[in-house]
Amino acid sequence: MLLLEDAPRVLAPPRRELAFDAAVTGVVFLADGTLAAGLGDGTVRLVTDDPAPRIAQPHRDGSAVLALAIDFDGAGVLTGGDDGRLARTAGDGTVTPLAEFPGRQVEVVAVSIAGGRSAVAAGREVSLLDRSGKIVAATADHPTTVTGLALNPKGKRLAVSHYGGVTLWWTGKLGEAPAQLRWRGSHIGVSWSPDGSIVMTTMQERELHGWRLLDGQHLRMAGYAAKVRSMDWLTRPMTLVTSGAECALAWKFSGGGPMGTAPIELGRGLGRLITCVAVHPKRPLVAAGFDDGQVALCALKPADAIVRVRGIDGARITSLAWSRDGTRLAAGTAAGVVPIYDLVNAAAPGPKAEGV
């Protein structure tokens, strides 16, 4: 195990590290490799190989970017801010305002590339946007404020989390005939499994809840040290990776799991709390960020192989993103630092994902 021998040493210096004077609230790579970072000053910074990042200001000065998602075309990002605005920022820095919800914090945005739809929430209201960024449908038929949105892999169904569970809509019939997934408690985020069979939520009560759509079977995974703020999926074998504990917990959905099985523990022994996870796009590899600024790469097999790429600086990791080809990893911290790592080896064909 690399960790014990090398614990104090950071193994991969960043290719580049940028520092901004506001917290980083989200990072994502565009299709051409440009990194878009949303900040707590209402700006989006676009980082290419140029020495100075481009600055776009989709949100009011003095507000914060709260949500950041890559747009359908991979050439821009949609952002929601605490100024009540939803906007698109293209890779060249062009800003297009899309919607405004006065007095609201827009913190929930979801995009389905396959379905050509995006969705945004403000209060109890959910709006669907088409490819041109126009609102085509909206409904406020939710019992409380919407806390999470997820489109299924085909982009035909929309899961909306709120207190008491999840409302499921058909995107073609938003506002009509919803299905309800009920579970008492405050659901604060939602995610759809990559095969479309399962809807998972994270809960205020420091646990995960899920529903198997085929038969309505409930899934319940408890025992987290903190609220699960970040979850991501490995497609094969289908595995849900989550933050919220001292190690990243990976729940396998094969072989009768995950209920009644123990999760795989990734990154144990490095820090106190994992705040963010991101699954590599091609390999069974997880990037995990800690509340003290550490970032580690953890292999799902063998589960104890860890490479620490960033040391402790005291600022929480708020966001992590892989480039589409898996050769780069970016992180964002609450202190405004954005390290970018080159991980050429991580993109090379490794052990087959199957049999993890």
Contact footprint for another protein (CB under 8 A): 21-23, 25, 39-41, 60, 62-64, 66, 82-83, 102-105, 107, 123-124, 144-145, 147, 163, 184-186, 188, 203-205, 226-227
Nearer to another protein, 121 or 279 (CB): 121
Nearer to another protein, 103 or 255 (CB): 103
Facing residues of 87 across strands? 79, 97
What letter represents residue 199's amino acid?
V
What letter represents residue 83's amino acid?
D
Residue 188 Cβ, how far from another protein at the closest point, in Å?
A: 8
Nearer to another protein, 30 or 122 (CB): 122
Residue 50 Cβ, how far from another protein at the closest point, in Å?
A: 24
Nearer to another protein, 185 or 350 (CB): 185
Q: Answer for the pair 39, 23: CB distance below 8 angstroms, yes or no.
A: yes
Residue 301 Cβ, how far from another protein at the closest point, in Å?
A: 32
* Bridge pairing between strands 125-129 and 135-139: antiparallel
Q: What is the DSSP string of 106-159?
A: --EEEEETTTTEEEEEETTEEEEE-TTS-EEEEE---SS---EEEE-TTSSEEE
Q: Which backbone phi and psi does 200 adopt, to 5 degrees?
A: -115, 140
Residue 44 host element (H or E): strand 44-47
* Helices and strands in the chain: count of H runs, count of E runs: 2, 30
Residue 200 Cβ, how far from another protein at the closest point, in Å?
A: 17
Nearer to another protein, 92 or 100 (CB): 100
Nearer to another protein, 147 or 327 (CB): 147
Nearer to another protein, 143 or 172 (CB): 143
Residue 53 Cβ, how far from another protein at the closest point, in Å?
A: 16
Residue environment code for 16-25, b if the CB has 16+ CB neighbours within 10 A, otherwise e: bebebebbbb
Residue 123 Cβ, how far from another protein at the closest point, in Å?
A: 6
CA nearest to 288, candidates 273, 297, 235, 280: 297
Q: How many CB atoms lie within 10 A of CB 246?
A: 18
Residue 283 Cβ, how far from another protein at the closest point, in Å?
A: 32
